[in-house]
Amino acid sequence: MTEIPARGAAGGSQPVRSNTRSGKLAAAAARRLSALLLTVVASVVLGAALVRLAPGFGMDERQMDLRLNEESLAAMRAQGQSTGILTACRDYLSGLARGDWGVSVALGRPVRELMADRAGLTVRNLAGGLVLAWALSLAVGFALAVARRRAWDTSVTLLTGGLLCIPTGIVALVFLYFAAPSAWALAAVLFPRIFRYVRNILQDSARRPHVLAARARGCGRLALVWRHVSVPSLPELFALVGVSLSMAVGAIIPVEALCDSPGVGQLVWQSAMGRDLPVLMHATVLVAVVTCAANLFSDTARALVTREV
Amino acid sequence: MMQTAARWTLLAIFLAMLGASAIAPWPYDRQFREETAAAPSARHPLGTDALGRDRLSRLLYGGRISILLAPAAALVSVSIAILMACGAALLGGWWERVASALIDLFLSLPWLFLLLAVRGLLPLNTSPGVSLGVTFALLGLLGWAGPARVMMAAAKRQLESDYILMARASGCGTWRLAAAHLAPNLAPVTLAQFWTTAPAFLLSEANLALLGLGIAEPLPSWGSLLRELSNVTLVPQQPWLAAPLVLLVITLGCCQLARAADEYSL
């Protein structure tokens, strides 16, 4: 029978526990990293399949050039149709391993260079939008939880519900009209979505028995919401971080395209309009990596907070 | 009370759009060359667009397209989701793992992004009818992952119920279990997912259209009509330009109220 060491007793119990814990942490990290790699490979296959199976595959705007003769057109068509899905995936992955991301068909520049030029602005837009939306959501959610006024809750619910009904593109156009930064437009798109989740998480947490017990013991409102409602909700809030990044990546395309912000989102839009396959393919993989990494981070953070690893 | 009002409003909008051919004053593609970009009048209650087409007629016909095809696409998504959820939950093991991995993969890629990428690959000479079909088919085929995750969790909960145990004990086969016991008990979740997905598809179509990747002209849809708002500076002087947006917001708001929207879950 295993002897359970007394709490705080000196001896070998602490290092053993810590080794077990770090081992579990390493195993969980390895498991999640392999899932991330698998997802990236799957996204490459999915991206290649979507591109190859799309009705427009093999069509090139240059084929509309009247100066091209029949031979050139046939060569272009053959070039477009030559590779299968698996060959395309293999070529893509080997190119990626060599650091070769191919050349944009529409812009005639290396995709890597194009992405690198625009990534900084997109990261700033995403970070600004997410920070603003989260700050606002947490502040309003916390304030509503402290105030416990039904009228305020209904008003904010109606307001966020109304914002949810407006297409992202229209929100972007409104912010463009007021010459506001793209990050603000992104925050306006993300706020109602994040807020709804935050409010639900805080409300669920506030209904737990320990909160009722704390209230019965005379705990103050602020302390009650902070200590007994917000802190126990941290794991769920961490889980939401990954989800919110995925939402932000989806919203950044219309925001950057319509606010004329030259980031990766605008590049993706231009590539979709110009049917620029190399850029679209790399953007798909990049988005998959970013969102999977964010989910990995938020899952790990949640596991660390709840000590479930 | 509010839910009832929302449902009646939705029904009224739905009927008005269905009866577009009877209500609309003009065909949606008729061009009044002498009245281009005209202000509202008795002949054209919402004015005309830059090509002289009656805005009210286009709003009604466009509404019919959006309001019929978004739920149709949602039906496709929810059908894929329920098949996947029931199959994965009943077969278990590797099937379940593969289904979960597929769901994770589709959820990890923002589907507006996927939609934009695939929609952008359509040939340049795509006809309006094909672009309409492809846009909503893509919405249906790419938007199943979210509902599938919720339904898979619900199906797994149902499988732990006593009635399933009893059905299994009385020799009920896997497919009969799925069709006769599991699927009917998943109906409330399925309906909730349908009500969540259909408005999301309306919004996605609007976003695609605003980016120039929506349904091809001359077919109208609410999304393509919103493109007139690209020049926002005109709206304060010509507020009637915002009519499609107002109708879209009312429809989506009523959808939210009708399904008691405060039940958002992770």
**Which band of pLDDT confidence, cut at 50, 70 and 90, is reported for residue A133?**
very high
Residues A216, A212: Cα–Cα separation, whole Å: 6
Sort out which chain B residues have CB atoms less than 8 A from A239's CB and list them: 266
Q: List the domain boundaries for chain B.
A: 2-23+57-264
Residues B67, B222: Cα–Cα separation, whole Å: 9
pLDDT digits (tens, 9 = 90+) for B10-43: 888 888 888 888 888 888 888 888 888 888 888 8
Select the more confidently predicted residue: A47 or A139: A139
Query: Which pair of tokens denotes residue B62?
Result: 């466009």
Query: Which pair of tokens denotes residue B162?
Result: 């006593």
Select the more confidently predicted residue: A156 or B258: A156
Sort out which chain A residues have CB atoms less than 8 A from B249's CB and list them: 162, 165-166
- pLDDT for A185: 93
- pLDDT for A194: 92
Sort out which chain B residues have CB atoms less than 8 A from A243's CB and list them: 266
Alpha-carbon distances of A288 from A174, A246, A291, A295, rounded to whole Å: 29, 9, 5, 10
Select the more confidently predicted residue: A90 or B51: B51
- Torsion of the alpha carbons at B3, B6, B8 and B14, rounded to the nearest 10: -140
Residues B266, B45: Cα–Cα separation, whole Å: 44
- Which CATH architecture is the domain B2-23+57-264 placed in? Orthogonal Bundle (1.10)
Q: Do A213 and A159 touch, CB atoms closer than 8 A? A: no
The percentage of chain B sitting over the pLDDT mark of 90, rounded to a whole number, equals: 5
Residues B126, A42: Cα–Cα separation, whole Å: 29
Sort out which chain B residues have CB atoms less than 8 A from A236's CB and list them: 266
**Which band of pLDDT confidence, cut at 50, 70 and 90, is reported for residue A63?**
low
Mean pLDDT of the A249-262 span: 89
Residues A224, A220: Cα–Cα separation, whole Å: 6
CB contact under 8 A, A54 and B118: yes
Q: What are the residues whose beta carbons fall under 8 Å from the beta carbon of B262, sequence distance 6 or more?
A: A157, A196, A200
- pLDDT for B203: 87
**Which band of pLDDT confidence, cut at 50, 70 and 90, is reported for residue A38?**
confident
Query: Which pair of tokens denotes residue A140?
Result: 């309003």
**Burial class of residue A279 (count of CB atoms within 10 Å of its CB; 0-12, 13-18, 19+):** buried
Q: With a cut of 50, say whether residue A41 has pLDDT above it.
A: yes
Q: What is the separation, in whole angstroms, between the first and last Cα of chain B?
A: 28
Torsion sign (Cα): A172, A177, A179, A184? negative
CB contact under 8 A, A250 and B101: no
- pLDDT for A12: 43
**Burial class of residue A7 (count of CB atoms within 10 Å of its CB; 0-12, 13-18, 19+):** exposed
Region of residue A110 (phi > 0: left; psi between -120 and 50: alpha; otherwise: beta)? beta
**Burial class of residue A15 (count of CB atoms within 10 Å of its CB; 0-12, 13-18, 19+):** exposed
Q: Do B148 and B87 touch, CB atoms closer than 8 A? A: no
| Helical ranges in chain A per DSSP H | 13-53, 70-81, 85-98, 111-147, 150-164, 168-177, 182-206, 209-216, 221-223, 234-258, 264-274, 277-306
Q: Looking at CA atoms only, how far is residue A105 from chain B in angstroms?
A: 13
Residues B65, B182: Cα–Cα separation, whole Å: 33
The HSE-up count of residue A114 (CA atoms within 13 Å, CB side) is 25
Query: Directed axis angle between helix A264-274 and helix B111-119, to 10°?
Result: 30
Burial A170-209 (b: 16+ CB within 10 A, else e): bbbbbbbeeeebbbbbbbbbbbbbbbbbbbbbbbebbeee
Q: With a cut of 50, say whether residue B191 has pLDDT above it.
A: yes
Average predicted confidence (pLDDT) for chain B: 83
Query: Which pair of tokens denotes residue A26?
Result: 């390493």
Q: With a cut of 70, say whether residue A7 has pLDDT above it.
A: no
Q: Choosing among B100, B108, B247, which should be mutated to test the A contact, i.e. which has the most A CBs within 10 A?
A: B108
A161, A200, A236 ranked by CB distance to B253: nearest: A161
Q: With a cut of 70, say whether residue B94 has pLDDT above it.
A: yes
B120, B123, B207 ranked by CB distance to A273: nearest: B120
Distance between alpha carbon A18 and the CA centroid of its chain, in Å? 33
- pLDDT for A2: 40
Residue owning tokens 């690959």: B121
Q: Looking at CA atoms only, how far is residue A128 from chain B in angstroms?
A: 19
A145 SS3 class = helix
A105: which DSSP letter?
A: T
Residues A289, A81: Cα–Cα separation, whole Å: 28
**Which band of pLDDT confidence, cut at 50, 70 and 90, is reported for residue A132?**
very high
CB contact under 8 A, A197 and B110: no
Short-list B154, B107, B117, B91, CA closest to A243: B107
CB contact under 8 A, B121 and A51: yes
Average predicted confidence (pLDDT) for chain A: 78
